[in-house]
Structure 1
Amino acid sequence: MKADGPRIRQRRETSGQGLRRFARTAGISASHLSRIERGETDPQPEALARIATHLGCDIADLVPETNGDDSGNDHRRAGPDDDEGSRGTHP
């Protein structure tokens, strides 16, 4: 599950918890937590739930925000009702 690592780190540090101690209480290794916080890896949903629980927040508070648009999707993709019939071809 995609996580906002810097946000996790900020919340952990704000709560006054060190990385090793927090990782131990959340049931993950300190090295794994460090990689999550640096954005090098994403936690499994169960691990993210434990992190959220120990930070006193919801999982939604620890994942990247979405504003409802699919900015990562290519909106130029041809669909069944597309007049062109296939992507990238022009009359």
Structure 2
Amino acid sequence: MVRALRQAKKLGLRELARRAELDPGYLSRLERGLIRDAGDRQVQRVAAALHVPVDVITEETP
């Protein structure tokens, strides 16, 4: 979900990582589903950087 939102907003991975104050490698792993239990703070940062509610980021896709 994060990757789709990022791409829809025409942001690069490094730019989103910069805006969310996260490591680009961490964000990449999060996008690829390699991090299952991301911390609340990290999710809040990504949501804020994308200007979306947290629940949009955390909802499961079928």
TM range (shorter): 0.7 to 0.9
Greater C-alpha radius of gyration: 1
Identity, % of aligned positions: 32
Residue of structure 1 aligned with 2:53, choices 36, 54, 58: 58
Unaligned runs of 5+ in 2: none
With CA pairs under 8 Å and 6+ residues apart, which has the higher RCO, 1 or 2? 2
* Deviations 1:37-90, CA, capped at 9 Å, x for gaps: 00001321001001001111111011134xxxxxxxxxxxxxxxxxxxxxxxxx
Is residue 2:27 matched to residue 1:37?
no
Higher helix share: 2
Task: Give 1:48's aligned residue.
Answer: 43
The number of residue pairs the alignment matches comes to 59
Unaligned runs of 5+ in 1: 1-6, 66-91
1:1-91 equivalences under 5 Å are 7-41=1-35, 42-65=37-60
